[in-house]
Amino acid sequence: MNIDQSLFAVLESHKAALQKLFNRELPGMSLLYFWVLRQVGAGYGITPQLVAQKLHRDKAQVTRLVMDMEQQGLLQKLPHPQDRRSILLQLTAQGGTCLAQAEELQRQVAEKMTSGISATQQSLLDAALQQMRDNLNSVE
């Protein structure tokens, strides 16, 4: 197996393990919902367009997700103070609770994933992955 295949295999296994825990502990929580909650929960004042850019998703897909998440009581829309055509997204109390629970499940998956790997090995892997990301970000 080459490094590309290994990276994809680890990523897919990570996503599958996380979704499995979500299905058991947080029914209805998808990975995409989690990623949106994380973006919105990272700070006040994120627009749906910025969420779409950060998640590399289609704006229409994010708009539908936001509508669903708003109906479920996870997000609320606020008027944008500088741009009347835009809105800002904010977590509701329920959304904040869901995010905290999902982050705990993600922590458990990360702990399981790195089980048996020394702190030094983890640090070296992190540095190598950062370098790979930087290399890819420079592709034109």
Task: Quote the pLDDT of residue 140.
Answer: 78
> For the chain, what is the HEC assignment?
CCHHHHHHHHHHHHHHHHHHHHHHHCCCCCHHHHHHHHHHHCCCCECHHHHHHHHCCCHHHHHHHHHHHHHCCCEEEEECCCCCCCEEEEECHHHHHHHHHHHHHHHHHHHHHCCCCCHHHHHHHHHHHHHHHHHHHCCC
Q: Give every residue of the chain whose pLDDT is below 70, as ranges.
A: none
Task: Quote the pLDDT of residue 57.
Answer: 94
Task: Quote the pLDDT of residue 106.
Answer: 97
Domain residues of the chain, as ranges?
3-137
Given this structure, which CATH class describes domain 3-137? mainly alpha
Task: Quote the pLDDT of residue 126.
Answer: 94
